[in-house]
Structure 1
Amino acid sequence: MDLGILWWLAPPVVVTLAAIAWVMWAGKGGGSVDPEVAAERMARALRKEHPGQKVTGPAASRPRDRSTGIAVRPSRGE
């Protein structure tokens, strides 16, 4: 079997390996994250009210129907 045709794969493999090595080397200087600070930031973000959570208008007064995942069209009354 002639493996000469696979030489076109060599440049992308070399570039990928070089990028992986560079990212590993560059990432070593990154500081560590304090778990307590990270937990506090997460708790603050979860407590914050987000615009998508609030339902306003007529839809707010009626209970939300439980979705079954099946679309049902109303009958035409035939």
Structure 2
Amino acid sequence: MEILLWLVPTAVVTAVAMLWVAWLGRDGRGEVDRDAAVEKLAAAMQRDHTARHRPRPTAPVDRSTGIAVRPSRSRGPA
């Protein structure tokens, strides 16, 4: 049993850390005005959201044959 005494400080630190995090995450901290949040959401939904950049082209589909083969590279005019 004595060999397990080295775990006591670790268990105490873990318990204190869990209590501290639970206290920080409790309800009521940093409340947001519900009406202001609804107005902000409505304004964001009314805005026109256009893409800032063109979408990336889709990658070609690699058909697997079950055999490990290096992809062939087409050579230009020789």
Task: Note whether the superposition's TM-score is higher than 0.5.
Answer: no
Larger Rg: 2
TM-score interval, normalised by the smaller of the two chains? 0.3 to 0.5
TM-score w.r.t. the length of structure 1 is 0.44
Higher helix fraction: Structure 1 or Structure 2?
1
